[in-house]
A and B are shown apart, each in its own frame.
Chain A
C-alpha cells in the first residue's frame, strides 16, 4: 500500500512538471484530486485497512494531496507566465496606474512637523477664528498699539467678548502661545503649531490665507543659544547639511530680545547670487518670550524662560531647492496640470 501511494505521488509530480498547457493541468487535477480521482480512491479504501495502519496511511495520503496541490499551483504559474516560444516585444510601454497627488503645502507641513517632532516638539492646533486677547493682548500688544498695524487683521462681524475683545481671524500662529501655556500649565513646553493664518494682503508674495508654523519652548534655563541651536537644526534638516541660519536684531512686542531669522541661500550656499543678492533669505521672526507673555499665559517669568519663532510655511517651502515656484499665487493654483506635478 505504501509503495503504491509513493508511486502515485511520483507519477503525478512527473506528469505535472511535463504538462504544457493550463488545460492539461486541469485534467491532471481532476485525475488525481477530483471526486473520483486517484487520491480519493485510496481514501475510500482506508476504512478497510487494519486499525493500526489507518492513521499512518491517512497521513501519507494527505501529504501526497498537499504535494500534488503545490505542484499544480507552481506549474500553473510557470505555464501562465512563461511563454518562452512565442515572439514577444519587451519594449512595449507600461500601463501607468492612477495614483493621486498630495499638495506641496501638505508635503511641507509633514516635513516640518517631522523635523520638530523628532526633537521632542508636540504638534498642536488652536482656533483659526480667535479672540483678540489671544492674538494680541496676551502677546503684549495693548489695544490701539501701532505694532498691531503690521498684522493687517481681519475682524469677524460679531459682538465683542466682554473679556477677550473682538473676534479675529488669527493673523499669526503666535495666538497659540498663550493657548499652549494655558493647556500645559507647568513647563517643559516644546510646541509646534502649524495652522492657517489670515491677513488683509494680496500680491506676489502674500495671500490673504496662508500657513504658519510656530515653535514655542519654555523651560528652566532656556536662552538664546537654544534658539540658535533649534533654528540651525531645522535649516540643516529642511534645506540640507550645508544650510546655516543667522539671527539679526528685530522688534516684536511679544519677544525680548527679538530677532529676524535668515537662512543661507541654497543656490549659492551664502555667497550671494541672483536669487538672494546677499547670500541670505529672510524667513521670519523669533525671539525670547517676553515676561509679560509668560505672565499672561500663567507662567512665572522668574522661574522659566523660553523662545518662540513663527514663519510662513509657503515662504520656507519656496526657498527649498528644486521647488522652482516664486509666486505664492502659483502655489495656490488649482490647475490639475500643476497639481499633478508633485
Chain B
C-alpha cells in the first residue's frame, strides 16, 4: 500500500540532518521504497510504498523507526525520538462509564476511554496542514484527532458520541446473517454473519467495527462526551467484510494486515493528550483495557555462519547485532549462535532464520553485496524441447512473407471457434467483460477479426502461434494445444495453398489433402491435411469475406517433421521431361489425377503448368535411377498412365 508522509511530521520523531532526497534514497535501498517526493502547499511529502508484511511501518512513526535504523549505515547520524505522552491514566479491566461483553476471537484487545466536555470546533492550523498534505480533508477537531492518530501511529481509532450509546453498554460480537446497519455515510448494509459489530444497551448496532461507525452513534456539532475507541480486530473478519461490501478504507487496509496490539496503549494515551490539547476534553481517570493475552516475545535462533552463507559474504557478529538492535529486536549471542527476540510490531512478519537474514542483509545493504554468477553442475536440457521447432516455423513464415500477430486468448462467446460454442470451451467466473469471457478453442475467429480490421487492398498473410484450450470435461486441466493459424487476404487459392505446402515440404512432411466440409468454411472449399490416418491441419476458404484460412497442430507437425531429411544422391542419369495436355470431364478433381500419375513407377514429379476451363497441362518428369531412359521406355509409361486415367477418371489426352 502507498502512504504519504510529510517531512516535517517525520522529523518530529527522527533526529537527523539528512536532506529529504537523501532520506528517500537510503530508505528505498534498504527499507520501504520512496516512490517520489511531492510538495503540498509548503510541505514536502514522501510517497512511500509499504509492503503488506510491514504494516508496522505504515505510519509516520513507523517510517521514522526504519529511517533511524537505516541512515547510520550510510554514515548519516540519525536517532529515533520516542512518542512523548503526558497521559498517565491507569489501565483497568473494569470502569464505571462502560460495561462490555467482548468476543476475544474477534477482538484481541479492547481499549476505550471516556472524554468529557469536549468542545467541537476546527483543529489548529498545523494539524489541518498536515492532514491536508496526506490527502485527508480536515473536518473538526474530533474527526481530525482520529485521522491524525492513524497517520502518526498506524493504529485506526473510532470516536462515539458517548451519550448516544444506550445503557453505557456494548456487546462486541459477530453479526447475524441478514442483520442491517446504517453507517455514518448514510448507507445501509446487510450483514453476512462474520462481520464484527457492536451492539449497545438498547439492542441497536452502533458500529461496523474496523469499517465504519454507525450513524446512530456518530459525533455531531452538539457532542459533549466522546468515547475514544482503540481496538485490535481479527484481520480475517475485517478483510471479509471490507471485500464483501467493497468498502476499502485506510482503516480496513490497516486492520486486515494484523496490527500490533502493543501499539494500542501508546495510541490511546497520545489520543488523550490530543483531546486535552485540541478539544479541551477532560479524560476519565481510568482507561478501559481488556487484553487477556499480552504479547510474549517470539524467539528465533540462528548462527553467524547461516547468515553468511545466505548473504554470500563475511559479516561480523557485532554488525549483525547492531543492525538488529537498531530495528528494535533483542539480541543475545553466544559464540556464533545468535538468539533474536522479536518485538511485538514485527510478530506477524518474522518467523524463520531466513527472516533474520533479510533484516541483516537489507541494513548491510544489498548494494554492498558482491555479484557473481553461480558455479556448479548444469542441469540437463529438456528432453524433446518444443521451442526450437516453434521458432523454425516462425522463421519460415517470415521467409514466406507472413506477418506475425499476437491476439488475446480471452475472447467473446462468438469468437471461441468457427463452430457454435462447444461444451469443451472454458468460461471465466470473473471476466473483465463479455468480450473476454471465454478461452478460445480456435485461432480462426481472432485472426479473421484482425484481417477484417486491416484497411488495405494489398494482399497480406498473417499468422499466429498460440495455445487453444480444450476442456477434457473431467476434473482435470484443459488440453493446451499449441496451434499455428494463418489467414490470407487477396491471395489466390493456389498461391495460398503453395505457401502451406511449402511449410510441409520445409519439414519434409508427406501429407495428403482431402476435401471435407466443415462449419465456417464455404461449401467444397476446405481440405483436411493428413499424414497417414492422423489429421494435422486444415486449409480452406472461410464463409463471409472469402479469406483463406489454415491451421496446424504444432505438436503434430513436430512429430512428423524430419529436421534432417537425409541426403539423397543427385540422379546420375538425365531425366526426360514432357508436357501432357489433358481434357478433363466436368466435376473431376485434378488433385487425385496428379497423385495417380505421381505414384507411377519412374515418375519423378508431376507439376501443373496450366489449367484453363477443362484443359489441363501437366509437366511430367520421367527418371530411372539406373539408366538413361530411351524414348521407347518413356512411351510405354506414358501409355500406361493414359490408360489408367481413361479408365479411372474418363480423361483423354488433348490432340
Contacts and interface: CB of A to CB of B under 8 A. Distances in A.
Contact of A225 (B372, B382, B395): B372
A154 B358 contact: no
B408 interface: yes
B426 A257 contact: no
A335 B386 CA distance: 29
Nearest to A246: B367
Nearest to A113: B387
B366 A247 contact: yes
Contacts of B310: 223-224, 288, 305
A166 to B, nearest CB: 8
Given A106-B394, A146-B239, A101 B427 contact: no
A129 B477 contact: yes
Task: With a 10 A CB-CB cut-off, give which of B374, B386, B397, B460 has the most chain A CB atoms.
Answer: B374
B428 A120 contact: no
Interface in A139-169: 144, 146-147, 150, 154-159, 161-162, 167, 169
Interface residues of A, number: 83
Interface string B411-436: 00000000000000011111110001
B28 A248 contact: yes
B285 to A, nearest CB: 39
B478 interface: yes
B373 A288 contact: no
A225 B369 contact: yes
A100 B379 contact: no
Contacts of A217: 374
Interface stretch (B272-280, B399-407, B573-581): B399-407
Contacts of A150: 52
A334 B450 contact: yes
B475 A128 contact: no
Give the interface size class of chain B.
Answer: 35 or more
Contacts of B31: 249
Contacts of A228: 366, 369-372
Nearest to B489: A336
A259 interface: yes
Interface stretch (A44-52, A56-64, A83-91, A194-202): A194-202
Contacts of B404: 100-103, 106, 339
A102 to B, nearest CB: 5
B51 A256 contact: no
B236 interface: yes
A159 B473 CA distance: 11
A247 B313 CA distance: 16
A119 B373 contact: yes
A198 B378 CA distance: 31
B362 interface: yes
B379 to A, nearest CB: 5
B439 interface: yes
B397 A100 contact: yes
B461 interface: yes
A144 B236 contact: yes
B311 interface: yes
B366 A200 contact: no
Interface string A161-199: 110000101000000000000001001111000001010
A9 interface: no
A334 B407 contact: yes
A283 interface: no
Given A100-B403, A103-B405, A157 B427 contact: yes
Nearest to A160: B475
Nearest to A307: B374
Contact of B428 (A119, A127, A154, A229): A154
Contacts of B357: 256-257, 288
20 contacts: A101-B398, A103-B404, A103-B405, A106-B404, A119-B373, A122-B379, A128-B469, A144-B240, A146-B52, A161-B475, A188-B376, A189-B379, A225-B311, A226-B373, A249-B33, A257-B358, A290-B354, A305-B309, A332-B406, A335-B454
Given A127-B480, A247-B367, A334-B453, 10 more contacts: A100-B398, A100-B461, A103-B404, A188-B376, A207-B408, A208-B410, A224-B312, A246-B367, A249-B31, A250-B51
